[in-house]
Amino acid sequence: MSPQPLSAIDGGAQEIVSREDLYRRASLLFDDLGMGGTYFPMFRDQIEANFSETAIEAWEQAAKSSVHAIPLIKRFAAVEGDTRKSDTKGQGRVSSVAFPRMGGVLHKAASKAGVRSESVIGAVELTVHAGYLASLLLFEGFGGRPIRANTEVVWNEWIPEAYRAPDEGIEAIWGVAAFQEFWQRFLEQSGMAKPARELAKQKMSPLTSSFSGLVGVGLVLAAVERESD
């Protein structure tokens, strides 16, 4: 039997429609995965305790203002999350060794569990979008710079650098988005138990390598979609 669709996952990255939606997409605390409950109010309270209303308003405005983010995230994820193909060489990488393509890594598990490629693509979209949104909040100056006019220019700037996010930046956005828990629950609820256990152990493997690189991709997009100072 195929796993039941998860609406938040299958919807993937979407334009921000409200502040609560912004909080959910930045944190990855979706009810579909059982990650809402008490966790979401705690996240909201933490954000509102640590950032001024002015800063949160600016974050919300920056999150809604990009004409590039959603279409480019979807363009990237359509290849990165495609489980119909087994190849592991992904966009923005010179080889398949350091950060293998997520869809290729999950090819066998997804096929065995009857998971649609669109579900993995949606999870990739949400992961990149969460990293993007967290970066707009945390890194002063990202959201205030003018957005580049040309989408293709942003794409061509982004992809070669996508897997070169600085370690300190990645560490910072981990404090906003529940990347690990999101992927573990997605894999478990999709019937991909073996990859879920593999990720939980956090031992070096193609899956953990792919995941660790994917976390920083949205950060790089947030940096390159706007004009330099």
5 in any annotated domain: no
141 inside domain:
yes
Lowest mean pLDDT among 2-16, 127-141, 184-198: 2-16
Residue-range definition of the domain harbouring residue 180: 16-224
Q: Is residue 32 part of a domain?
A: yes
Establish if 3 belongs to a structural domain.
Answer: no
User: Helix %, strand %, coil % for the chain, to 5?
Assistant: 60, 0, 35
| DSSP codes joined into one string, 45-97 | HHHHHHS-HHHHHHHHHHHHH-SSHHHHHHHHHHHHT-TT------TT-SSSS
What are 57-74's pLDDT values in tens digits? 999 999 999 999 999 999
Q: What is the mean pLDDT of the chain?
A: 92
Extract the runs of DSSP E, i.e. beta strands, from the chain: none
Per-residue pLDDT, averaged over 18-24, amounts to 96
Average pLDDT of span 86-104: 88
* Per-residue confidence (pLDDT) for residue 96, from 0 to 100: 67
Q: Is the pLDDT of residue 92 over 90?
A: no
For residue 229, what pLDDT is reported? 64
Residue 152 included in any domain: yes
The reported pLDDT for the residue numbered 2 is 46
Q: How far apart are CA 206 and CA 215, in angstroms?
A: 15
pLDDT for the residue numbered 3: 53
Whether 206 maps to a domain, the answer reads yes
Domain count, the chain: 1
Statement: residue 125 has pLDDT above 90: yes
Phi, psi of 27 (to 5 degrees): -90, -20
What percentage of the chain exceeds 90 in pLDDT?
82
